[in-house]
Structure 1
Amino acid sequence: MANHELMGGRLHVYKREESARFWQCATFLAGRNHRVSTKQESLAQAKDFAEDWYLTLKGKLIKGELRGNEKSFEFAAEQFYREFKVLTEGQRSKIYVEAHRTRLDNHILPFMGDKGLSEITPGLLQEYRIHRHEKAIARWGAPPARNTIHQEVVVIRQVLKSAVRHGWLRLMPDLSEPYKASGKISHRAWFSPDEYKQLYEATRERAKNPKKKRFKKESEQLHDFVLFMANTGLRPDEAWRLQYRDVKIAHDDGLDETILEIEVRGKRGIGYCKSMPGAVEPYRRLVRRNKPEPSDLIFPKRQKEIFNNVLNELNLKTDRDGQSRTAYSLRHTYICLRLMEGADIYQIAKNCRTSVEMIEKYYASHLVNTLDTTAINVRKQKPVKKAVALPEPEPNKVSSKRDARPGVRRAKAPTKKP
C-alpha cells in the first residue's frame, strides 16, 4: 500500500491498492480516526487537499466542534425507536408509534440529528422551539400548537433517556420550557345543551328528508351515531371498533331503566361502559336497519363529510374559542352534561376510561354547575354586641380650689355681669 506522511507524521495520504483510482487521507484527532477520500488521482493535488482537510479539522477541534467517540443524536434516536417499537408492542397503538417516527424524520433529526449528545443543551432545545415556530409561520401562516411542540420534546427526552441508559450520555439536560411554567386553563370543544339539541334535531331532519335519496341510509346512520355517542361517552376510535356482540341491552335496577352495557376496546385496552337510556333506541334502530351478524361493526363507515356539512350549516363547526368540533366533541359533550347534572366525577372517569385529573383539567374547570354555592357563599355570623352597664356618677363634691382628680383644674362657674 502506497503511504505518504505529512504534518510530521500526523497526516497520511495513501492508496489501499495500487490499482485504486483516488488517494485517501487519514488522521487521528479527538480520540478517533478520521478518514476521507481526496477524490484526486494526482498525488500532489491529493496532498494539497489532505493538508486543507487536516487544518479544517484542527480548527474545529480548537473551537470544540469536533466530536471524538461521542455518539450522535441521530444514532441514539435510531436505537430508541428500535427499542420503543419492540417493547411497547401490544401496549401502544401502531399509529402512536409511527407518529414518533414521523416527528423524528420530519422535524427533530433535520435540526439536531448531526449533533453530539453532549451538544443537546437547554439552549439548543430553545433554539429548536424558535426554529419550529418560524418554520410553521413561514409555511402555514400560524405557529404550531403548544401540544405539538410538547409531543416533539417528549420524543427528544425519550431519546436522551435511552442514551443515558446505554451510557452514551452522563446526565439528562433540563428540557423544561422557560417563561411558561403552566399553561392557561382550557377546555375541549363540546356542545352546550342548546347546541346539542340543535345538532340532533338537524340530523334527525336530514335523516327524514335527505338532500339526495341515495344518502338516506348514511343520514340515518349519522343521526343514530350522534345520539349513541352523546349518550355513551365513547371515543370515536372505540365506537368505530365496536361490534354488535359487544353491546347488550340490560335493565338497570338502580334507576329502573333500560340501558346498554358495552364492552369497549380502544386506547386503554378493554374496558366497560354503561350508557344513558337515550342510547337504547338508536341502537335498536341500527339493529333493525342493518340486520347484522354478531361480528359486524356497528359503524362501518365514518360519515365525516356529512357530519361536517351539518356543523357548517348550523354554524357550529367551531366554538367561541376557535376550537374545531369533531366527532370527539360528542364524548366531551357527554362528560360535560353528566357533570352539569351532578354526577359523581369518579364514576364518570371510570365509565369513560379516563382519570379524574383529566376530567378536572379539561371539563370541570369551565362548568359553573360544578361550583357549590353552599360551600362558597359562606358568611361568618357576626357576634351580638352586649350592652355594658356604665357606673353611676358620684355626687358633686365642693372643693375650694381643685377637683379631686390630681392635675385637673375645676372649671369655674360663669359669673353674671352686673
Structure 2
Amino acid sequence: MSAKSIHVMPNKQATLYRLNNSKNWHVRIKYKDKAGYWKKSTGTADFDEAWAFAIQRYTEINSENLEIRRIHRSGNTTLEEVAKEFLKKSTANKNDKTICENHLIPKLGHTIFAKLKYPDLEGYINDCDIRSESTFANHRTTINKLLRFGLQNEYIKSVEHLKLDKASFKANFSRETTDIISSKEWDLICQSYGAWRGMSRGEKVYEIRHKLFVLMQFLLFTGIRPGNESEELQYKDIEFTTYKGKLVGFIDIKKGKMKDIKPRKIPIHEDAAMILFLELHYQCYFDLPKVNDAGNEADRGNALLNMHPDRKFFYVQEKRPEYARNFGRYIQHLKSKNRLSDEKKLILYSMRHTFITNELHKGKDIYAIAKHCGNSVQMIEKYYSKYETLINAKEVFEEGFRFYHPG
C-alpha cells in the first residue's frame, strides 16, 4: 500500500489508497462482524468517484441484510464460511457435517473459496491420509456438494477445474481387510438387533435400521455387493418363481462397483427370496387386498412388484441411507456391550466376504462363483482360495446359504 491513504470513514472502517504500480484508487473496508478486511480496486483514478464507491461498498459489505452482505462479500468469503452455510441446508447429511467440521474446515477453512485450486484439494486428500476407495468417495461426494452449493450461490465462478480424479490417488489405496462372520456371531448379531433397533430416535431412524437388517440378510444369502448393486435395487429388478414348491427367484443386477459393469441375472434361494417377499408385503401393505386372488406366493409377489416397478427397495423416504455407516454403528454398539470382540473387523462387506468364503469351502466352481458375484477369477484366486464345482440355479435353489463349519 502507498503511504498516501485517506480514511473515508472514522476508525479506519473504510480507507482509500493507491498502489505504487496503479493509477486507480483501491478501497479497504473493515468487517463489522468479524476480523479482517475486504479489499478491491475502485476501477477509477477520480477521487470523488472512488469516494462514492467506497461509501457504497461499505454499506453493502456490512449490510444488516445477510443476503446483500453475502453477495458482496463472496469474492473474499472463506471456505469455512461457505461450509457453515452449506451445512444449514437440508441436503447436507451427517457424513457432510463430519467431513466439513473435522477435515475441510481445519485444513482449508481460511482459503478464499473463490480462489480454490486443484492443488489445494489434492493436498487436502493427501493430508487426510485416505487409504480406501470408500473413504475417498465419501470425501469427494461432500466436496462436490460443497462446490455445487458455492457455484449456485455465486461464491465461485466455476468448479470444473476442481473435480477430483480417483485415478490420481489410487496408489494410496490399500484393500480394507475384513473378517468373515461365524454362525455363532451371526446368531448374536440377529438376537441383539431388535433391542438396538428399538433404541432408534425417531421414525426415520427406525425405518433405516429396519431395512438395514433386511439388507444384511439379503447380502449374506446372495453374495451381492453392498452399495450400488444392492442398495439401488428396484422392484422391476426382482422376479419371484417357485422351485419344488419353494419360493425362490432371480435378481437383475444393473449397477455395480465399476462404471462399465455388465448387467447379470442371478438366482436366489428361498432364504433370500422370503426375506424380499416379507419386506415387500411390509412396504406394499395397502396394496395387499389387490393381489389376494393373484395365485401362489410368487404370483402375488410379482403382482406387487409390477405395481411400482421403479420403486427403490432399500430407499427410505426416497433417499438412500448410509447403510455401511449404520452397520458400523451397530457393530460398535455390540463391542461396547462386550458382545463382540474388539479384534473382530466386521463391515457390511463382510456379508459378501462370508458368502464367497462359504461357497469356496463347499467346493463350488471358482468360475461360477466369480460370475455369480460379478468378480474375476483372478480376484477370487488372489483374495480367497481355489476350490471347484458348479454354482447354478438348481444348486442355489436347493442348497441356499449354509455356514461353513471347519472339521
Structure with the higher fraction of residues in helix conformation: 2
**Which category describes the TM-score, using the shorter chain as reference length?**
0.3 to 0.5
After TM superposition, the score normalised by the length of structure 2 is: 0.42
Between structure 1 and structure 2, the one with the greater Rg is 1
- TM-score scaled to structure 1, two decimals? 0.41
Query: RCO greater where, 1 or 2, for CA within 8 Å and sep 6 or more?
Result: 2
